[in-house]
Amino acid sequence: MTSDFDLVVLGGGSGGLAAAFRAASHGARVALIAEGPLGGTCVNVGCVPKKAMWLAADLSHRIQLARELGFDLPAAPVTLDWPTFITHRERYIANIHTSYQQRLDAAGIAVLPLRGRLMPEGRIQCNDGVRVAAPAIVIATGGRPRRPLIPGVELGIDSDGFFGLRAAPARVAVIGAGYIAVELAGVLQSLGSRVDVFVRKRRLLESFDEDLGAQLVEDQRQHGIHCHFNYTLASLHAGQAGQVVLRDTHNRDTEPFDAVILATGRVPNSDDMGLEDAGVALDAAGRIVVDALQATTVQGVYAIGDVASDIALTPVAIAAARRLMDRLFGGQPEAKLDYADIATVVFSHPPIGKVGLTETEARLQFGDAVRVYRSSFRPMLHALAESPQRSLFKLVCVGDDERVVGIHLLGESADEILQGFAVALKRGLHKRDLDDTVAIHPTSAEELVLMR
């Protein structure tokens, strides 16, 4: 066993890499124990390849709009050559892997491509017998797709399996109501599949503003996606020619589908790591219990990212990791992540984003002091092409001075617009600040400064 490290990081995803790089920049001696490809879920089967597929789907939408506006394009649908596109997608990811490896080498970080198990007294046992030790250990092992415990579940694929597709299945059933379900449904519909979404409750994206969620369902319906609400899946059954049939709790069968995507949540990668034996507490969902400083119940052991946080977002894991390292090795004893008012976007068609409180959350907290502003409109491109897709922007304000506590955007470029306004909200934005700002015309973003 060697104690030649100041920090050992378990996990080579976005959070683990961010911790390793930041600690090394402060002069710490770092070992990274990373099983699987560098970049973890985000780079390999998450954010990066998902956004690549979304961009392809968005191009498909715009080609159709271009045809409506008079561009000389074939009358038949323009289809994506999946193998060609996937070659570009995988090349892009390979370049990220190469960049990570170069940065690790340059920073002098020792990389062990192994699985690590936590032992008592700050030790890590690797699956090849190697042991390492350090006064600080960061667990950043991320999460993986959850599969429902139902008969026939092996007939469906999860989000990891989606990235193994090499063509758009003719008919697809998506099970779920969260980020992954909404995003994959939109991508596949845009690329030629007929998509049905089966939702256990009454709405999509429960953590988002309800008005925007309802408009998203309507926009998706206009694109051809059919949502089935209050649906409880009981089992999957093999049909003819490799197809799959869904059966609900009332013993009713659906028509056959060519693919079923199970987007039913994610679970933390916290099992079989020796955590409980070492004294690290887990909650009922298997997440590592941490305090505001990312510390676990064992001194010197910390956890970040999806294995510990309720906010399962790559930028959150990265930000938490960097602040933790600034505190441990950078001489910044007060450094910690502020989890309030974190902006997030779902890459649906169109995108939907939020920062701050929803109207419902604000009214529960502030009651009658809440005032809401809305703007419902068709973006210029869709209006020109007579497309029915609509955008809905919403401001949630509180008090006589109308402090903005929530910004909610559904529509073209919502993903790009929200970032700047998130900074303003974090800095204490008021409605009068928006009123005093001259609009950029014609844009969708101007709606945020023109609401009355």
Which of 228, 237, 349, 441 is labelled catalytic? 441
> What confidence tier does 122 reach under pLDDT thresholds 50, 70, 90?
confident
Domain identity same for 325 and 279:
yes
- pLDDT score of 297 more than 80: yes
Claim to verify: residue 257 and residue 275 sit in the same structural domain: no
Boundary residue ending a domain (239, 264, 289):
264
Q: Has residue 300 been placed in a domain?
A: yes
Q: Are residues 393 and 428 in the same domain?
A: yes
Residues 26 and 140 in one domain: yes
Domain CATH for 442:
3.30.390.30
Average pLDDT over residues 165-183: 97
CATH code for position 175? 3.50.50.60
What is the domain count for the chain?
3
Summarised one tens digit per residue, pLDDT across range 227-265 is 999 999 999 999 999 999 999 999 999 999 999 999 999
Same domain, 282 and 139: yes
- For the segment 38-53, the average pLDDT, to the nearest whole number, is 98
The torsion defined by the Cα of 381, 385, 387 and 391, in degrees rounded to 10, comes to 20
Residue whose C-alpha is closest to residue 261's, from 321, 340, 177: 177
Pair (198, 161) in one structural domain: yes
41 close to 13: Cβ distance less than 8 angstroms: yes
**Confidence at residue 2, expressed as pLDDT on a 0 to 100 scale:** 53
**pLDDT averaged over every residue in the chain:** 96
Q: Is residue 315 part of a domain?
A: yes
User: Are residues 96 and 22 part of one domain?
Assistant: yes
Lowest mean pLDDT among 67-76, 168-177, 344-353: 67-76
Token pair for 294:
């990312």
Domain of residue 376: give its range: 350-450
Average pLDDT on 314-320 reads 97
Helix (H, G, I), strand (E, B) or coil at 295: strand
The residue whose two tokens read 């100041």 is 6
- Decide if 209 is inside a domain: yes
Residue 2 belongs to some domain of the structure = no
For 132, the enclosing helix (H) or strand (E) is: strand 131-133
Q: What is the pLDDT of residues 194-204, one digit of tens each?
A: 999 999 999 99
Would you call 408 a catalytic residue per the annotation?
Answer: no
pLDDT at 329 > cutoff 90: yes
Task: Say whether both 176 and 214 belong to one domain.
Answer: yes
Tens of pLDDT, residues 397-446: 999 999 999 999 999 999 999 999 999 999 999 999 999 999 999 999 99
Average pLDDT over residues 136-151: 97
Q: Name which residue leads in pLDDT, 21 or 2.
A: 21
Tell me if 384 is assigned to some domain. Answer: yes
Same domain flag for 271 and 318 = yes
Does the bond joining 442 to the residue before it have cis omega, within 30 degrees of 0?
yes
Confidence at residue 402, expressed as pLDDT on a 0 to 100 scale: 98
Sorting pLDDT into bands at 50, 70 and 90, what band is 291?
very high
Q: Do 358 and 432 reside in the same domain of the chain?
A: yes
pLDDT for 1 beyond 70: no
* Number of residues that make up the chain: 452
pTM across the whole model: 0.95
pLDDT over threshold 70, residue 367: yes
CA distances, 102 to each of 26, 59, 96, 135 (Å): 18, 33, 10, 26
Task: With cut-offs at 50, 70 and 90, classify the pLDDT of residue 74.
Answer: confident
Q: What are phi and psi of 130, to 5 degrees?
A: -70, 140
Is there a single domain that holds both residue 300 and residue 354?
no
Pair 33, 120 in one domain: yes
Q: Residue 428 falls within a domain, yes or no?
A: yes
Q: How far is CA 161 from CA 44, 198, 304, in A?
A: 12, 18, 26
Amino acid identity of residue 51, one-letter, is K
Over range 194-219, report the average pLDDT: 97
Assess whether pLDDT exceeds 70 at residue 113: yes
Rounded mean pLDDT, 204-214: 97
Q: Say if 337 falls within a structural domain.
A: no
Q: Which of 246, 264, 282 is the last residue of a domain?
A: 264
Question: Looking at residue 3, what is its pLDDT?
Answer: 62
Q: Of 264, 294, 314, at which residue does a domain stop? A: 264
Whether 238 is covered by a domain: the verdict is yes
pLDDT at 273 over 70: yes
- Tell me: pLDDT of 110 over 70: yes
